[in-house]
Amino acid sequence: MRKYGLLGYPLGHSFSKTYFNQKFEAEKIDAQYINFEIPNIKDIKNVIKENPELNGLNVTIPYKEQVIPYLDELDDDARQIGAVNVIKFTKGLFGKLKLKGYNSDIIGFKQSIEPLLNETHRKALVLGTGGASKAVMHGLKQLGVGATLVSRKHKEACLTYEEITPQIMEQYTIIVNTTPLGMFPNIDACPDIPYDLLTPNHLLYDLLYNPDETLFMKKGKEKGATVKNGLEMLLLQAFAAWEIWQK
């Protein structure tokens, strides 16, 4: 039996485990998917050692960047983004195990947001500076959209929330939330942007998918903006992960 799994901490509300095990059952694939909730990235060595039948791993918070030194190779997107959420296991010469890192977040994000873009969507604000924001920035760049990160603290090449002026809100008609603000159970939270300056020209994309409609999305909808949550991105990145493991 082939084995796949998810590396992260904590993993209480993992989508991947349920999704892949249901897929394996429905398609009669002789495989299982396990959560590897490890408190330290160094524990990846034990996971690999104790599970010789592993064919692939997904990687989630907080290890998308920390896992890179443990890999033998990165594909182009993962290297440019600097974050990995899919690892493919292959056997090389003399049965030596080789781990290659990929980023399927960028695939899911691009395929999900592209149909919503129109000629007014030329610039984007990306809220948050974690691993997911890197994939989003890279994806927007590939779609021809100029993007700027927004951080709570002063950082190089980032705006702070206080620096979002009416002029910026007018120019930057795509706003992507990559922060956990508004995720269940804290559904009354949202990123601190000037929602009163939103218009029907704006597109608000939230990587969160629980709840279905976050406060960030609700506030956008009230101003006539187009809104979308991250569920489709999540599904598309899972499809892409499976394709990576199979090729």
pLDDT digits (tens, 9 = 90+) for 71-123: 999 999 999 999 999 999 999 888 899 999 999 999 999 999 999 999 999 99
CB 97 within 8 A of CB 89: yes
195: nearest Cα among 220, 224, 159: 220
pLDDT per residue as tens digits for the range 139-170: 999 999 999 999 999 999 999 999 999 999 99
The pLDDT-based confidence of 226 (bands split at 50, 70, 90) is very high
pLDDT given for residue 86 in this prediction: 98
Interacting residues of 138 by C-beta distance below 8 A, sequence separation 6+: 77, 80, 81, 106
Give the span between the Cα atoms of 205 and 226, in whole angstroms. 8
Output the average pLDDT for the chain.
Answer: 96
Rounded CA separation 240/115 (Å): 18
What are the percentages of helix, strand and coil residues in the chain, rounded to 5?
40, 25, 40
How do residues 22-69 score in pLDDT, each as one tens digit?
A: 999 999 999 999 999 999 999 999 999 999 999 999 999 899 999 999
pLDDT of amino acid 95 = 85
DSSP, collapsed to helix, strand or coil, labels residue 154 as coil
Q: What integer pLDDT is reported at residue 165 of this predicted model?
A: 98
Q: What per-residue string of b and e applies to 177-198 under the rule 16 or more CB within 10 Å gives b?
A: bbbebbbeeeeeebbebebeeb
Q: What is the pLDDT at residue 130?
A: 85
pLDDT of residue 92: 82
Q: What are phi and psi of 239, to 5 degrees?
A: -55, -45
Backbone angles phi, psi at 37, to 5 degrees: -90, 100
Q: Is 64 a catalytic residue?
A: yes
What per-residue confidence (pLDDT) applies to 61?
Answer: 85
For residue range 178-201, list pLDDT tens digits in order: 999 999 999 999 999 999 999 999
CB 71 within 8 A of CB 84: yes
Check residue 93 and give its pLDDT: 81
pTM for the structure as a whole: 0.91
* Residue of 233, 236, 230 whose CA lies nearest to 207: 230
**Is the pLDDT confidence value at 13 over 80?**
no
Cβ 81 vs Cβ 106: under 8 Å: yes
Q: Which of 3, 64, 134, 141 is labelled catalytic?
A: 64
